[in-house]
Structures are given as structure tokens and as C-alpha cells.
Chain A
Amino acid sequence: GQQVMQIPQYQHVQEGEDFTTYCNSSTTLSNIQWYKQRPGGHPVFLIQLVKSGEVKKQKRLTFQFGEAKKNSSLHITATQTTDVGTYFCAGLVTNTGNQFYFGTGTSLTVIP
């Protein structure tokens, strides 16, 4: 079954509002990655988190990795229309070798 769950599935925001997507795993993750897929495109790597409690920022994007390494979040401050797309987390599960389990994704729509 799905090892990595992601919520919400869809999010509509007004331009300028903040946005957060959450990723939860039933098992401990070695690390977690985040990808963005523009409509009609392919997933593109954004960032990787490895350490427990790690927080990384990329301009308006803030990524967190939980203390127990079972959850993660992506927060976008003051969304712009260029943020439109689907955001996926991908967790590397410790006991499955090289398998990354992707979350179901959160589709973000930004209303101008």
C-alpha cells in the first residue's frame, strides 16, 4: 500500500496567500525529497532533507523534516502564479534499499 501520504490533494489560493502541503510516512525515512511538476510537464527536483528536524529555505519556499523523520512539509509564502503545479514529496524508506516512495501530490492552483 501507499507508504507516503500527502495532504491536501488539491489547494486553491488567491495570489499572495500562503500555501502548505504535508507529507506523512508510516515508517522512518532515510531522507525526503520534494519535486514540482508543472501542468503537462515532468517532476523536477526542488530539495532534499536528510537530518532530523532539518529546515531549508529557497526564496519563498520553506521545507521541514520532522524530528522523527516520518513527516515533512513545504510552505510557500505569498504565492505567485508561477507556483502553479503539483508538489510531490518522495521518501527514501530505510529498509527498502533504493526505493523512493512518492506521495500522492498536492495540486496547487493560484488565482490571480
Chain B
Amino acid sequence: NAGVTQTPKFQVLKTGQSMTLQCAQDMNHEYMSWYRQDPGMGLRLIHYSVGAGITDQGEVPNGYNVSRSTTEDFPLRLLSAAPSQTSVYFCASSYRGYSGANVLTFGAGSRLTVL
């Protein structure tokens, strides 16, 4: 049981390049999400999904795309990287418990630098 797996762990991009951050979970979690973490800003929600085929925007969705073709995978795409997207990205998933609340399990993070 690997939990939430993110790849790559580190990436350096040039402005304008595109890339995909991969996220996979093996816990059969319905809910998956992407956060970015910046100093002094905490964790901000980029996009989330409540199940395969369903995605929605979070607080800071601009410049990012997501898709959810399977329950296990939730990739985050940067279409044209900008220096403002330099950050640490976390993927998180959860199982919707009986109380309706989602306890998040986070991946190890992906540190992205855009030059």
C-alpha cells in the first residue's frame, strides 16, 4: 500500500514550457486534490475531484489543468509555466467517511522551479 505517490519530486522548467505533475493513489479514494504551498501562504487549493470524470476549480486554478479519467490518477498540467508557479505542489486524497468529512492523505510533494 503506497498511499499517494507524486512524481517528479523535483523539476526545473524554463518560462513557457509545459509539464505534468503525476499523482496516483492506491487507496480507492474518491476525492483527490492539488495544493500549492508558498512561504507565508499556507496550502492553497488548485483543483479537486470528487470522482472519476468530475473536476472542479479551487482557490488558485489559473494556469493549471486537471483531468480524472480513473479513480487512481489525478495529473496536474502546467500549460505554459511562469515564474509565479515556482512552488511546492502537494497532491492529497481522501475517503469520504460516514461523517461526510474528508481526512486528507498527502503525497510527498513536488518542488517546481520555473526560471
Contact = CB atoms under 8 A, between A and B. Distances in A.
Q: Does chain A bind chain B?
A: yes
Nearest to A50: B99
Interface in A93-112: 97-105
Interface stretch (A13-21, A38-46, A59-67, A72-80): A38-46
Contacts, number: 62
B75 interface: no
A88 B42 contact: yes
A88 B43 CA distance: 9
Contacts of B103: 33, 45, 48
Interface of B: 31, 35, 40-45, 48, 50, 56, 58-59, 90, 92, 99-109
Pairs A-B, 7 closest by C-beta atoms: A104-B42, A102-B43, A42-B106, A102-B42, A31-B101, A105-B42, A43-B106
Interface of A: 2, 6, 9, 30-31, 33, 35, 41-45, 48, 50, 88, 90, 92, 97-105
